[in-house]
């Protein structure tokens, strides 16, 4: 690969650091590119710590770590600002979905609109033949395959990408386990070798979610109702803070450990709960997905699906409807299928695509409380 240039998305974490090592050892001309997608300075006053940049600018720490890694590996590091694009294409979507009472996945949209779109365009401008990221996934013969480390596989988050977006993309650590990745970083004595994996909202970092969200969406208290008895058992602090299947933080009186969120009524501002982790109100048997994206040319009738990241594969059958809608059937029942989340489809090791969960059914009846 002598002379072929790869631009690596350097996040300041161990995975992208090891990507750069692997590619450089393979003979590529490697350069790094760090994306700034959130303007912490603008939000200093909103977040309540205008003078404490160490707390409110985690991405600056990540940039410094990426810079140190690139210096150690003797590769240049570029920096690009996608703050407006992230706000317009990802964060606005995130807020709009929450307003509808749904549970969105901003990481999926960040991949679709930022990492494999804006980032790729910038990499091409810098002369890249390929881009590379630290995702635990594989591409073989144009097929998107799960990462070898099943506990880290990230194809779920790549399910909205097109074939074009995945062209000229390298996933250098897709054939590795996390332990193997950290071992390489240790061997090179990188600052990121033992850095904790990032969590929280994509690019915004780890914050108190409720406090953060309240700065952008007005919250309104309302009743918590036991759906089985129609009894008001407490007050919620805003429907946007709750998701289907949630147990902790419901805030009702009584035996809260056995209560689970099963639905929402936006018009009446009611949060519905039920007792028991296997309560019938948590289960559905089919859903309609929208924004359906197929990476593969395959259109199977039977395959497996994930309705949440890290969920075990569920055997499903597929119906292709008008207006590019898809019905995903799982007759044996699945718990906590949630509007706004992604339903991702698989044939064995291959991720063939997915869509966004919209309507949810039990038998032939649409669930009114979802």
pLDDT in the model for residue 255: 52
- Pick the catalytic residue from 19, 57, 70, 202: 202
> pLDDT tens, position by position, for the chain (370 residues)?
678 999 999 999 999 999 999 999 999 999 999 999 987 665 544 444 444 444 546 778 999 999 999 999 999 999 999 999 999 999 999 999 999 999 999 999 999 999 999 999 999 999 999 999 999 999 999 999 999 999 999 999 999 999 999 999 999 999 999 999 999 999 999 999 999 987 666 656 666 777 888 889 988 999 999 999 999 999 999 999 999 999 987 865 555 558 999 999 999 999 999 999 999 999 999 999 999 999 999 999 999 999 999 999 999 999 999 999 999 999 999 999 999 999 999 999 999 999 999 999 999 999 999 8
Catalytic, 343? Answer no
pLDDT in the model for residue 3: 85
- Pick the catalytic residue from 19, 57, 70, 110: 110
Domain 219-275 has CATH 3.20.170.30: no
pLDDT in the model for residue 54: 47
Task: Name the superfamily (CATH) of residues 5-208.
Answer: HUPs (3.40.50.620)
Distant-in-sequence, close-in-space partners of 149: CB < 8 Å, separation ≥ 6: 136, 176, 177, 178
pLDDT in the model for residue 203: 56
Helix axes 14-25, 178-187, angle to 10 degrees: 70
Catalytic, 303? Answer no
The CATH classification of domain 282-366, taken from the options 2.30.30.90, 2.40.30.10, 2.60.40.10, 1.10.3720.10: 2.40.30.10
pLDDT in the model for residue 206: 61
CATH 2.40.30.10 residue ranges of the chain are 282-366
d(CA 294, CA 281): 31
CATH 3.40.50.620 residue ranges of the chain are 5-208
pLDDT in the model for residue 31: 98
CATH 2.30.30.280 residue ranges of the chain are 219-275
């Amino acid at each position: 690969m002598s002379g072929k240039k790869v631009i690596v998305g350097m996040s300041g974490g161990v995975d992208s650091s090891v990507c750069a090592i692997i590619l450089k050892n393979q003979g590529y001309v490697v350069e790094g590119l760090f994306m700034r997608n959130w303007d912490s300075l603008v939000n200093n006053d909103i977040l309540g710590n205008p003078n404490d940049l160490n707390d409110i600018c985690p991405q600056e720490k990540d940039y410094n770590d990426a810079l140190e890694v690139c210096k150690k590996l003797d590769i240049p590091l570029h920096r690009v600002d996608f703050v407006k694009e992230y706000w317009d294409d990802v964060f606005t979507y995130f807020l709009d979905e929450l307003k509808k009472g749904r549970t969105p996945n901003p990481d999926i949209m960040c991949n679709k609109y930022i990492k494999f779109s804006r980032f790729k365009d910038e990499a091409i401008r810098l002369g890249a033949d390929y881009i590379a990221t630290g995702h635990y996934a594989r591409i073989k013969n144009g097929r998107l395959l799960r990462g070898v480390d099943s506990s880290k596989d990230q194809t779920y988050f790549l399910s909205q990408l097109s074939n074009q977006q995945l062209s000229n993309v390298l996933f250098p650590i897709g054939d590795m386990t996390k332990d193997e990745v950290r071992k390489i970083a240790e061997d090179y004595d990188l600052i990121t070798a033992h850095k904790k994996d990032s969590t929280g909202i994509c690019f915004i970092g780890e914050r108190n979610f409720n406090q953060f969200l309240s700065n952008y969406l007005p919250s309104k208290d309302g009743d918590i109702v036991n759906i089985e008895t129609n009894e008001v058992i407490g007050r919620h602090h805003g429907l946007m803070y709750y998701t289907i299947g949630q147990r902790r933080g419901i805030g009702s009186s009584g035996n809260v450990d056995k209560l689970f969120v099963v639905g929402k009524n936006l018009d009446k501002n009611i949060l519905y709960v039920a007792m028991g982790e296997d309560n019938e109100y948590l289960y559905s048997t089919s859903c309609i997905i929208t924004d359906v994206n197929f990476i593969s040319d395959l259109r199977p009738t039977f395959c497996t699906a994930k309705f949440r990241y890290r969920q075990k594969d569920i055997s499903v059958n597929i119906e292709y409807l008008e207006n590019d809608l898809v019905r995903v059937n799982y007759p044996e029942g699945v718990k906590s299928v949630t509007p706004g989340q992604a339903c991702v489809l698989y044939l064995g090791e291959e991720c063939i695509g997915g869509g966004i969960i919209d309507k949810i059914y039990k038998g032939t009846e649409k669930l009114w409380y979802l």
